[in-house]
Amino acid sequence: MVAVLSIIVGNVVAIAQTNIKRMLAYSTISRRLHPALGILAGTSQGLRGSAVLRSRT
């Protein structure tokens, strides 16, 4: 639940930014939390998806 809220808040704050560096920082932070959702799901598919996302970054 915390990961989902962090992703949503990070994206909303990124949209509201007028400074490009801050916008990129907030969107990067929220993007880095996507693998956490797969891990927290606890399923084999979620874990595989997290591994794929982590290998691409």
Question: What element of type H or E holds 19?
Answer: none
Query: Residue 30 is part of which domain span?
Result: 2-56
Q: How many separate domains does the chain show?
A: 1
What confidence score (pLDDT) does residue 1 get?
66
- How far from chain centre, in Å, is Cα 55? 14
Tell me the pLDDT of the chain (57 aa) as tens digits. 677 787 788 778 878 888 888 888 877 777 777 788 888 888 999 888 888 877 765
As a whole number of angstroms, the distance between CA 49 and CA 17 comes to: 30
pTM over 0.75: no
Question: How many CA atoms lie less than 13 Å away from 40 in the CB half-sphere?
Answer: 9
Contact 32, 57 (CB under 8 A): yes
